[in-house]
Structure 1
């Protein structure tokens, strides 16, 4: 039987509520808030971007990565082709971004070649009031460089999750990179006014999805922004990742 988006979200929210209940004695700590935000980020990446095998690895020895997972953009590409028709622009076999050569994934899909899932390396910044600084973005880039060889960079995507918009300096920095980076603005889960329960309905959601120039070229034709903007993910079986 097909499981709907709403059913999966209800199950996931129940699991997050159990975490909150079991750890309510530490609700004021940064560790609690950080872990809660990571769980919310995993929910949004799973249910709205179709990422699989998501695993929290945050801790003192996480090496700068809080979550890992796999992301196949093939289902997104194929569904968007059904909904919006074929991509109107010709996708090149290869292109250059900031001096680095890459092969757009959509070209491989159109050619009928096997496309492996991207390996996602995710860092979460659960700041309630401060924006992510260029220094923190540079540290994330350094983490990517320490874990991924240049020859393998198109098989990975680095993701930063934060409740805030990017700064102008941050935007300039990530667009000058030679690696695929996606910035997800995901809101913090807020308490209901005057209550101890959290507002799962109106908070903790994916607000903005942004690809840097490198990721934009790598993912051109997949139309991930439209996938999110038009809520197409709600009409796809969440158990299907191929």
Structure 2
């Protein structure tokens, strides 16, 4: 569809009155905590949890946002342990380095801080260093990690970056939409935690970030996203429509609630035409307020499997790939060497096995490659 595709929740719909009464069905219950060794559910449920008595504002806020995504957090106590009764946080980048190499997923540039990598670790760091919540650093970093956490629900795997030559990019990563779980789109994200009105200049800044993406993200299979707590203005919409790059605008509140998603026709030309949006109603815990409308991304009208589900699938694919070579127990160095030999000898074979293709003369090629590997590492 030409122009800008978007969803405008009822509170922002132009003209006339809009009925925002919630449907009569109750909100879905929070998922049960998996027992040790059990798989996590593939799709995040929309749910909320109240902060336990005595929990600080930041910790309570984190509990709410992670519960929304079907997760809860491990918050450090003063002694370096964890608050009793919480689950472990799932923002853990579970893909192994070898799986990332197998899928040709690039390594992100260095993070701006070695002291934190997600919301729980940032809150722990801020508490330890007495970082005031009113500072630009606190507000901006918290918002970036909130975006990282929320977008995992829609199969985004993002890492925070920063530095002198970051071109204004805050997060980089991959987007594993259905059908592209093993060959994901590259993604760059700018986060603007600003309360002021945002203009078309920010779209032009996003275009600049697209052109100056870091190594590993300089590909045509890439989208750029600007996330802000502000609604897109008409000027923003017009500039987005005219852009020659595949761009998104997302309105996300400070607690991670997604309120508006817009994208231009260049996004659909990449193969993302099945992408859609729906407005759903969620309860606000411990209030008498009516359920509020939030936005979710869909694929062909269905929920997008979240990043936990994608990671589980990729991990299984990695195991199947190694099993095909009878190399499940190889040390990491030998796994990489096997892949290197394979890519040098039969460049397409590694991907064909990964995607379940039929390889001609597989047994003969397998014996040859494993013999080469054995010779390489024999003492």
Give me the TM-score of the superposition, normalised by structure 2.
Answer: 0.43
**Residue of 146, 149, 167 corresponding to 1:63:** 167
Give the aligned partner of residue 245 of structure 2: 179
The answer as to whether partners of 1:154 and 1:180 remain within 8 angstroms in 2 is no
C-alpha displacement of 1:55: 1.2
Give the aligned partner of residue 192 of structure 1: none
Give the aligned partner of residue 49 of structure 1: 154
Change (3 A) 1:236 1:220: closer
Give the aligned partner of residue 29 of structure 1: 135
The answer as to whether partners of 2:155 and 2:307 remain within 8 angstroms in 1 is no
The 3-state SS of whatever aligns with 1:225 is: strand
C-alpha displacement of 1:204: 2.6
The 3-state SS of whatever aligns with 2:297 is: helix
The answer as to whether partners of 1:3 and 1:237 remain within 8 angstroms in 2 is no
The answer as to whether partners of 1:184 and 1:210 remain within 8 angstroms in 2 is yes
- Within a 5 Å distance, the mapping from 1:154-193 to structure 2 comes to 154-188=220-254
Range 218-227 or range 61-70, more displaced: 218-227
Give the aligned partner of residue 264 of structure 2: 212
C-alpha displacement of 1:50: 0.7
Give the aligned partner of residue 73 of structure 1: 177
The answer as to whether partners of 2:188 and 2:213 remain within 8 angstroms in 1 is no
Give the aligned partner of residue 209 of structure 2: 143
The 3-state SS of whatever aligns with 1:185 is: strand
For structure 1, list consecutive stretches of 5 or more residues without a partner in the other structure. Answer: 76-108, 189-202
Change (3 A) 1:50 1:237: closer
Q: Greater helix percent: which structure?
A: 1
Distance 1:23 1:70 in 2: 32
Note if 1:3 corresponds to 2:3. Answer: no
Higher relative contact order (CA 8 A, sep 6+): 1
For structure 2, list consecutive stretches of 5 or more residues without a partner in the other structure. Answer: 1-37, 45-66, 74-88, 92-118, 279-295, 315-379
The answer as to whether partners of 2:225 and 2:249 remain within 8 angstroms in 1 is yes
C-alpha displacement of 1:176: 0.7
Which has the larger Rg? 2
Distance 1:163 1:56 in 2: 19
The 3-state SS of whatever aligns with 2:262 is: strand
Distance 2:302 2:193 in 1: 25
Distance 2:172 2:243 in 1: 21
Give the aligned partner of residue 22 of structure 2: none
**Residue of 228, 232, 237 corresponding to 2:297:** 228
C-alpha displacement of 1:159: 0.6
Change (3 A) 1:139 1:70: same
**Residue of 120, 124, 129 corresponding to 2:187:** 120
Cα offsets for 1:111-156 (capped at 9, x unmatched): xxx97211101100010x21322112212212212338xxx65311
